[in-house]
Amino acid sequence: MLDINFIRHNPEKVAEAAKNKRIEVDVDKILTLDKLCRELNTKSDALRAKRNEFTKEIQAAAGGKKEELRLSVQEIKKELTAIEDKMAEVKTELDGLLLTVPSVPDSDVPVGKTEDDNVELRKVGILRKFDFKPKDHLELCQDLDLLDTAGAVKVAGSRSYMLKNDGMLLQMAVTRYVVDFLVARGYMPVDASVLVRPSAMQGTGYFPIGKDQAYYIGEDDLFLAGTSEVSLVGRYTDEIMPAAKLPVKMVGLSTCFRREAGAAGRDTRGLYRVHQFQKVEQVIICKKDDADVYFAELLKNAEDILTSLGLPYRVALACTGEIGLGQTKKCEVETWMPSREGYCETHSCSKLGDFQARRLNIRYKDEGGVCFAHTLNNTAIASPRILIPILETYQNKDGSVSIPDVLVPYMGKKTIKAKG
């Protein structure tokens, strides 16, 4: 959420940010409602002062004068009630519109509409050249008995899967490896809640825009989160932390759920786009002046993880049309997937300024007073999507798949072979 004072003084900048992010926002209406709300508030304050003045005079008045003052107070109360009702109505509408106002992108974010307008920053790693016809991940999963798609669809419908045998173990290996990797770098491990309140989804910026992507449990008024970021950031709602306690660095592990509304027909084959997945998420809450430093740190963590897994990748600076409501800057990390013959998104590194902190009232106190914190996040690893490049890159001519060296201690074996 943007500070209303910022919107008042920078309406053109806010409107331009919304346009470039492809988000519909009526800045003029927001300013009109804001002005009306302030005018009504001024009137109500004046009426309260007048009511209090008359109330005091009643105590000293007598006879007809006292009755006249009482009638005046009653009229003021009626007028005040009408103004307060109107103000509540206006404020509700204003608050709803403010929730849809996007943050202003950093100055180095390229203006663009789609991922084609993202700016490539670097490519890292050498693409493997196969001396045999490589299989895609689904063929490998079938031949090595790693996946039960038919059974999952029978139970849960389309875009469902069940990893089994070494497929499940490989997922456990890579997620545990990444958790250990980040714990060694000073991140606090958290088993994040996947059931969250609407306030947490709204506070982190996933509602109201994006609400159609979430699964809802009506009986309990809870949602299934699409990322542990919701729990990790939301946990600090309404807190004021000493500056000395910052940054808060967390690595969350959770199952994530996304309806993929609007994605009908896209990436329906395989494990690329599914409704349920496991994700290790990096989240940092920090002082406002430190955000750029930690953005670089989160991005480096993701790159170091992919490098340690021996997977080629590229980093792209996302354009305005590809960054979300609250993000001021985003870098996408895309891992090479042989069967797709391209780099595909596996990590998303985001800087959100004080956008989430304002919505959730997360602050810190230093010598300068109380300030809103800044938040950042980045995928550390997401499975089963990351299994696509691992299986396809490390496949062998005999149909087996070698395990990346860093995962061997977690798997207890060096190779996944067909059961014979």
Q: Quick check: 301 and 283 in contact, CB under 8 A?
A: no
Among candidate residues 303, 331, 336, the one with its CA nearest the CA of residue 319 = 331
Number of H helices, E strands in the chain: 13, 16
Distances (CA, A) of 86 to 44, 83, 91, 257: 11, 5, 9, 40
Is the peptide bond between 338 and the residue preceding it cis, with omega within 30 degrees of 0? no
176 a catalytic residue? no
> What is the DSSP-derived secondary structure letter of residue 137?
H
> What is the DSSP-derived secondary structure letter of residue 132?
S
Which is the catalytic residue, given 235, 281, 385, 392? 385
3 state DSSP class of 67: helix
Neighbours of 342 (CB within 10 A): 11
DSSP 277-328: EEEEEEEEEE-GGGHHHHHHHHHHHHHHHHHHTT--EEEEEPPGGGS-SS-S
Among candidate residues 237, 18, 1, 32, the one with its CA nearest the CA of residue 96 = 1
Which is the catalytic residue, given 339, 348, 350, 383? 348
Which is the catalytic residue, given 79, 308, 345, 400? 345
22 a catalytic residue? no
128 a catalytic residue? no
Among candidate residues 190, 185, 385, 192, the one with its CA nearest the CA of residue 272 = 385
SS3 of the chain: helix, strand, coil, percent, to 5: 45, 20, 35
Among candidate residues 204, 190, 206, 189, the one with its CA nearest the CA of residue 237 = 204
Which is the catalytic residue, given 258, 358, 359, 363? 258
> Which element (helix H / strand E) includes 105?
none
**Rounded Cα distance, 330 and 334, in Å:** 13
Token representation of residue 37: 């709300």
Distances (CA, A) of 110 to 35, 246, 296: 33, 30, 18
Which is the catalytic residue, given 273, 340, 400, 402? 273
User: Could you list the active site residues?
Assistant: 258, 273, 345, 348, 385
